[in-house]
């Protein structure tokens, strides 16, 4: 582990100033991901600024009927909150589908969406990775792609030597639910406060795969707001994985279905960011949700999907799998609604 | 034939003697050994798969405060023996596989050692490597023999002619994956070189074999070397012989006389350095008549070895003895690759070798329209088909019948049963493991303070040796088990064989019984304080006239999600005939542990080898999935009350490994029954069944 300085500022303003002033500084909250990366040499900061106790750890009611999740609230606390369980079951289910009890007791609302990809090459400093070491290339292309993207990638087989190539996925379950809920991210930065729609927090790799989000250096998530949902809204999170617990999603689906309203669908583990299935949502607007209509809408959503070849057959199975998982999730939601 | 010990303590379900200490965290494992002012080691590993180290820039590292030593191929001591290429650490600049040890940093803290080791710049002359196992590999060769001294190939009759004439045939290729042992305790050592003597507190499956290997490599007298290992946090074969890390930490200790040094491999490093189960490719041929009587059994195995040290997994061996058939062929071919060195993993040979054959039997039953249990019963051999010897005892048929009854096998329909969103199927397979006893082990028994103490350098891997050896000693001495202590895990105690091949209890127990008889013969039933006698495993009394195996049958229920293909196994039942069970509590733990590991092999574990760079891509426990609690539903292990007077004086056959054999086949067969999809390569993952779902 590379030696680093550790700071525990008095408040968030000071924390933001500390990080902004040091180009190679990072915030530390729950540390469930960062500490691993410090040990592995994936993260090599000069300064670690501990914000664990500086933001609110509360889940509080908003005047508009929504909920505010303080950045320091833990995944366990949010998942157990009665308001969350009753009004936003998709979020409670997503949180409980992630990691383990021990990790959820430590991981925070602010930190969870900022965890890094689980691409095995990102985590191994002996292999090239554009996300970890910009310009070094992408080892995942043609390699172990089981957990990698099929959406938002540039080509069927991107050039592994190109500096922009990255087929990593975002690993957070919570983020997929927040994308489907149209959550809002409250941010404090050197230039003051701003609000970012959750669906715009994460990026596609574009020309800089090293950046996961649109946050600027020194910007800190202070809270995440859940907008109110019409009474009777149903929602669910379905995670498909290789073992029953403690595994990242092969694909996941967050669905929100307001009564008589239009379904919202977010997909996990298929792209560099939580993927709002806007094309499918559009096609299903006003339509009856049947296996057939959902399948057709998802076919359209996935028309541009790029299966990645690779060791053990690659990840082409994700395309039918995510389609079938959306169909099954909406089937369960609609039958629950009619029951 | 032997008169078996009369069981008094044997057969009791006693709690683990080491249980409380382990639960409280007071049992001391190798790395935790309390030594004064230890220094910490971190290895440097090669990042190429083949070639040569041309330079290592260590000057800056050596100048750092807190760095005590930097060992490289350019400055390391010359070893007395480099015959075993795995142990010849830092003896040459050649790199034979990615991740090979090419250096070591010793520092005041583990963090500093790691940072410095990772920062050393290494220059290589790299060569193209070859790390892909394939059946058309040009270098395939037949080893002189396969592991455990078995012949590489066997043939009887004419398989090709029998296949051509058979009414029903199966001819498919099955694949088992690369697997890593992954005990929860990493390979770890505390080492001290002082006044020309070496002490190793090492996590090992055998203190004496460990010592012998270190003495050979360093040219040391065994009298000057002590290995201590009271507890092991699992080994599953990967601590059956020392790996290169033990030689490296010994080298570090010798470089810093008087200073204890510690080395624990990281989880990631274990995927390069501590052995693994070779992937296997098994072409299986079965021929039978319409009644299901086998006329041909053949298995042709292709598997890998490293180029620098041969390891020949005996995968084809169980197909030689499991079922009767007049025509039989088994072959093994090895592909020598630029890969880490394969090694022992729970039930080497039988574990992969009971996959292809037991799935092929299921395919044959399907082709015949016959019940898979009945097919196996129909091919029960009277004597060992391989050697012609009679069985010491063989109760496979009874295991099959009892398992079928306990599982409710008769309710199994033709398949494709649906419950809600889940497709439900039942599958089964047989299990087998040879009964072994090692040639050497000695135990001593001393009477001290009114108690009996049995001493033997045995190892408890978590299996229960601390608990079952006193039970054996008590019955051999004819005393209450509460009056017996054992002392194990130290080369100061008499020589013991490795805890491997499910032979530990058989071997050490035999020595303890011998020592008890010597003791009673010398001192009678009223000994004086300090009286002591020792005994050796009696090889002369070893039965060689019978084929000795434990058998079993496993039944699995698989549920496959009709939408997503997710596979769950909510029910797994095993029935075993493994001789006399010394302690039902620890035995059940071994058997369901083996079955769970078999389930893990069936559904989850998979070392995905990145042949482009020559390493396991998913080399940590987040990505290398081991079955977790949520994956295990009802799991039951039962056993028959089996009397075997030929195996040893306890009548015990060994239970550490049989549980893992056949499990993966039972699960694959159940998935087929649920879905109609036949998966012939492990693990069975949802992507392999998805295309076959509606």
pLDDT in tens, A52-100: 999 999 999 999 999 999 999 999 999 999 999 999 999 999 999 999 9
Residues of B in contact with A325 (CB under 8 A): 563-564
- Predicted confidence band at B694 (pLDDT cuts at 50, 70, 90)? confident
Q: Within a domain: residue B649?
A: yes
Are B340 and B404 part of one and the same domain?
yes
Cβ neighbours of A133 in B, within 8 Å:
none
Residues of A in contact with B680 (CB under 8 A): none
User: Does A339 have pLDDT greater than 90?
Assistant: no
Q: How many angstroms from the chain centroid is the CA of residue B687?
A: 29
> Which positions of B are catalytic?
657
Please indicate, yes or no, whether residues B122 and B99 belong to a single structural domain of this protein.
Answer: yes
Tell me, what's the pLDDT at B539? Answer: 72
pLDDT averaged over every residue in chain B: 97
B536 close to B440: Cβ distance less than 8 angstroms? yes
pLDDT of residue A252: 98
Count CB atoms within 10 A of the CB of residue B521: 10
Could you tell me the CA-to-CA distances from B683 to B244, B387, B601, B665 in Å, in that order? Answer: 29, 33, 6, 11
CB contact, 8 Å: A98 with chain B?
A: no
| B537-577 pLDDT per residue, tens | 977 678 899 999 999 999 999 999 999 999 999 999 999 99
Q: Which residues of B touch A242 (CB under 8 A)?
A: 603-604, 625, 685-686
Would residue B93 count as lying in a domain? yes
Q: Do B115 and A3 touch (CB under 8 A)?
A: yes
Model pLDDT for residues B320-376, shown as the tens digit of each residue: 999 999 999 999 999 999 999 999 999 999 999 999 999 999 999 999 999 999 999
* pLDDT, average across residues B601-627: 98
User: How many distinct structural domains can be found in chain B?
Assistant: 3
Q: Do B258 and B54 touch, CB atoms closer than 8 A? A: no
The model's pLDDT over B95-143, given as tens digits with 9 standing for 90+, comes to 999 999 999 999 999 999 999 999 999 999 999 999 999 999 999 999 9
**Which alpha helices (DSSP H) does B478-632 contain, by range?**
504-523, 584-603
pLDDT, residue B672, reads 97
- CATH number of the structural domain spanning residue B365: 3.30.365.10
| A247 inside 8 A of chain B by CB | yes
pLDDT at B161: 98
Instruction: Note whether B507 and B537 are within 8 A (CB).
Output: yes
Residue pointed to by tokens 């809600």: B420
Do residues B515 and B638 share a domain?
Answer: no
Range of the domain at B215: 30-128+187-264
Taking 90 as the threshold, does the pLDDT of residue B3 lie above it?
no
- What is the percentage of chain B residues whose pLDDT exceeds 70? 100
In this structure, are B430 and B450 located in the same domain? Answer: no
**Taking CB atoms and an 8 Å limit, are A243 and B627 in contact across chains?**
yes
Buried b (16+ CB within 10 A) or exposed e, B400-434: bbbbbeebebeebeebeeeeeebbbbbbbbbbbbb
Phi, psi of A188 (to 5 degrees): -115, 130
Checking A278-286 for CB contacts under 8 A at 24+ apart, the result is A280/A326, A286/A262
Q: What structural domains does chain A harbor?
A: 5-50 (3.30.43), 57-339 (3.30.465.10)
Q: Note whether A243 contacts B631, CB cutoff 8 Å.
A: yes
> Does B193 reside within a domain?
yes
Quote the mean pLDDT of chain A. 96
Tell me the average pLDDT across B26-54: 98
Among B601, B623, B689, most A C-beta atoms within 10 A, so best to mutate, is: B623
Same-domain status, B406 and B494: no
Decide if A311 and B618 are in contact by the 8 Å CB cutoff.
Answer: no
Q: Which residue among A1, A118, A250 places its CB closest to the CB of B622?
A: A118
The per-residue pLDDT for range A189-210, each reduced to its tens digit, is: 999 999 999 999 999 999 999 9
Across the interface, whether the CB atoms of A1 and B563 are under 8 A apart is answered no
Verify that B393 and B288 share a domain, yes or no: yes
Question: Do the domain assignments include residue B10?
Answer: no
Q: Is the pLDDT at A182 greater than 70, yes or no? A: yes
This model of the complex carries an ipTM of 0.97
Query: Which pLDDT tens digit goes with each residue over A269-285?
Result: 999 999 999 999 999 99
B424 and B325 fall within a common domain: yes
Q: Is residue B323 part of a domain?
A: yes
Q: For residue B384, is it within any domain?
A: yes
pLDDT of residue A337: 66
Q: Is residue B86 domain-shared with residue B226, that is, in the same domain?
A: yes
Nearest to B685 among A3, A121, A242 (CB): A242
Residue A260 has pLDDT above 90, yes or no: no
In chain B, the residue whose alpha carbon lies closest to the alpha carbon of A99 is B622
In a domain, B2, yes or no: no
**Average pLDDT of the segment spanning B640-665:** 96
Task: Locate the chain B residue with the closest alpha carbon to A125.
Answer: B118
Residue B140 included in any domain: no
Q: Are residues B217 and B254 in the same domain?
A: yes
Enumerate residues 296 to 335 of chain A having a beta carbon within 8 A of any beta carbon in chain B.
Answer: 311-313, 317, 320-321, 324-325, 327-328
Residue B42: closest C-alpha in chain A: A1
Single residue among B524, B541, B558 that ends a domain in this structure? B541
Final residue belonging to a domain, choices B230, B264, B298? B264
Segments of A93-190 assigned E as strands: 184-189
Helices A318-338 and A291-301, packing angle to 10 deg: 140
Shared domain check, B554 and B487: no
Residue with tokens 């290895």: B43
Q: Is residue B414's pLDDT more than 90? A: no
- A267 to chain B, any CB pair closer than 8 A? The answer is no
- Considering the domain architecture, whether residues B297 and B378 belong to the same structural domain is answered as yes
Residue A277 confidence (pLDDT)? 98
Q: Which of B508, B541, B574 is the last residue of a domain?
A: B541
**Per-residue model confidence as pLDDT tens digits over B493-521:** 999 999 999 999 999 999 999 999 999 99
Do residues B402 and B319 share a domain? yes
């Amino acid at each position: 582990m590379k030696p680093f300085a550790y700071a525990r500022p008095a408040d968030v303003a000071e924390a933001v100033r500390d990080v902004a002033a040091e180009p190679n500084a990072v915030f530390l909250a729950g540390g469930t991901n960062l500490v691993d990366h410090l040990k592995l040499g994936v993260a090599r900061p000069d300064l670690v600024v501990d914000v664990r106790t500086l933001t609110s750890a509360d889940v509080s009611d908003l005047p508009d009927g929504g909920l505010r999740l303080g950045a320091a609230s833990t995944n366990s606390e949010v998942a157990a909150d009665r308001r969350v369980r009753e009004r936003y079951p998709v979020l409670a289910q997503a949180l409980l589908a992630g990691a383990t009890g021990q990790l959820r007791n430590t991981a925070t609302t602010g930190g969870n969406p900022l965890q890094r990809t689980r691409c095995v090459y990102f985590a191994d400093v002996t292999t090239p990775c554009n996300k970890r070491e910009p310009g070094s290339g992408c080892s995942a292309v043609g390699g172990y792609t089981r957990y990698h993207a099929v959406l938002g990638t540039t080509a069927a087989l991107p050039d592994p030597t190109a500096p922009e190539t990255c087929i990593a996925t975002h690993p957070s379950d919570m983020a997929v639910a927040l994308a489907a809920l149209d959550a809002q991210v409250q941010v404090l930065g050197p230039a003051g406060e701003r609000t970012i729609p959750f669906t715009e927090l994460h990026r596609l790799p574009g020309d800089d795969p090293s950046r996961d989000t649109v946050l600027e250096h020194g910007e800190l998530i202070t809270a995440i707001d859940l907008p109110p949902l019409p009474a009777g809204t149903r929602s669910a999170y379905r995670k498909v994985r290789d073992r029953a617990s403690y595994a990242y999603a092969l694909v996941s689906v967050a669905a929100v279905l307001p009564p008589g309203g239009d379904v919202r669908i977010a997909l996990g583990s298929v792209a560099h960011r939580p993927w709002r299935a806007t094309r499918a949502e559009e096609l299903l607007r006003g339509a009856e949700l049947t296996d057939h209509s959902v399948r057709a809408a998802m076919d359209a959503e996935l028309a541009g999907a790029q299966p990645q070849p690779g060791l053990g057959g690659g990840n082409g199975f994700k395309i039918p799998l995510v389609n079938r998982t959306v169909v099954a999730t909406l089937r369960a939601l609609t039958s629950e609604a009619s029951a | 034939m032997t008169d078996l010990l009369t069981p008094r303590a044997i057969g009791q379900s006693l709690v683990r003697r080491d249980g409380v200490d382990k639960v409280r965290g007071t049992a001391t494992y190798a790395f935790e050994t309390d030594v004064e002012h230890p220094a910490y080691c971190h290895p440097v590993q090669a990042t190429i798969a083949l070639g040569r180290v041309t330079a290592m820039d260590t000057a800056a590292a050596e100048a750092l405060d807190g760095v005590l030593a930097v060992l490289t191929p350019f400055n390391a001591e010359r070893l007395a023996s480099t015959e075993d290429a795995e142990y010849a650490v830092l003896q040459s600049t050649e790199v034979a596989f990615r991740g090979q040890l090419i250096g070591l940093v010793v520092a005041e803290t583990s963090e500093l050692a790691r940072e410095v080791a990772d920062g050393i710049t290494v220059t290589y002359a790299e060569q193209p490597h070859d790390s892909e196992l394939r059946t058309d590999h040009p270098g395939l060769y037949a080893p002189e023999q396969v592991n455990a001294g078995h012949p590489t190939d066997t043939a009887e009759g004419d398989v090709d002619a029998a296949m051509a004439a058979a009414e029903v045939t199966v001819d498919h290729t099955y694949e088992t994956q690369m697997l890593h042992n992954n005990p929860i305790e990493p390979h770890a050592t505390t080492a001290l070189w002082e006044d020309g003597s070496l002490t190793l507190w090492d996590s090992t499956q055998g203190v004496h074999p460990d010592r012998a290997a270190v003495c050979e490599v360093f040219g040391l007298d065994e009298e000057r070397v002590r290995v201590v290992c009271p507890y092991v946090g699992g080994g599953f074969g990967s601590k059956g012989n020392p790996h290169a890390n033990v030689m490296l930490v010994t080298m570090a200790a010798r470089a810093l006389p008087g200073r204890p040094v510690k080395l624990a491999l990281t989880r990631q490093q274990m995927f390069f350095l501590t052995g693994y189960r070779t992937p296997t490719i098994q072409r299986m041929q079965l021929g039978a008549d319409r009644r299901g009587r086998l006329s041909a059994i053949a298995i042709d195995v292709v598997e890998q070895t490293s180029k620098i040290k041969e390891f020949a997994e005996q995968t084809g061996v169980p197909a030689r003895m499991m079922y009767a058939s007049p025509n039989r062929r088994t072959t093994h071919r090895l592909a020598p690759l630029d890969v880490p060195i394969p090694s022992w993993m729970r039930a080497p040979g039988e574990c992969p070798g009971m996959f292809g054959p037991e799935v092929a039997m299921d395919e044959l039953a399907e082709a015949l329209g016959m019940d898979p249990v009945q097919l196996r019963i129909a091919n029960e051999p009277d004597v060992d088909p391989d050697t012609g010897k009679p069985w010491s005892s063989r109760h496979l048929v009874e295991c099959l019948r009892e398992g079928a009854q306990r599982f409710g096998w008769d309710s199994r329909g033709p398949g494709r049963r649906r419950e809600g969103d889940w497709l439900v199927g039942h599958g089964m397979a047989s299990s087998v493991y040879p009964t072994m006893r090692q040639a050497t082990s000695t135990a001593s028994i001393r009477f001290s303070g009114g108690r009996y103490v049995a001493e033997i350098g045995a190892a408890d891997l978590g299996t229960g040796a601390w608990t079952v050896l006193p039970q054996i000693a008590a019955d051999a001495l004819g005393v209450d088990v509460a009056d017996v202590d054992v002392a194990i895990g130290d080369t100061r105690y008499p020589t013991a064989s490795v805890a491997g091949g499910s032979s530990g209890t058989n071997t050490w127990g035999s020595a303890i019984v011998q020592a008890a008889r010597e003791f009673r013969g010398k001192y009678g039933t009223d000994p004086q304080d300090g009286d002591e006698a020792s005994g050796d495993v009696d090889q002369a009394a070893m039965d060689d006239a019978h084929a000795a195996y434990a058998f079993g049958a496993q039944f699995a229920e698989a549920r496959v999600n009709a939408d997503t293909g997710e596979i769950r196994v909510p029910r797994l039942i095993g029935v075993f005939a493994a001789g006399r069970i010394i302690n039902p509590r620890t035995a059940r733990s071994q058997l369901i542990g083996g079955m769970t590991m078999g389930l893990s092999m069936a559904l989850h574990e998979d070392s995905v080898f990145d042949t482009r760079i020559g390493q396991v891509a998913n080399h940590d426990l987040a990505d290398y999935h081991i079955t977790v609690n949520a994956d295990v539903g009802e799991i039951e292990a039962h056993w028959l009350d089996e009397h075997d007077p030929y195996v040893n004086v306890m009548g015990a056959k060994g239970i550490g490994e049989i549980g893992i054999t056949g499990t993966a086949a039972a699960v694959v067969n159940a998935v087929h029954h649920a879905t109609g999809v036949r998966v012939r390569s492990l693990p069975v993952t949802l992507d392999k069944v998805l295309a076959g779902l509606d």
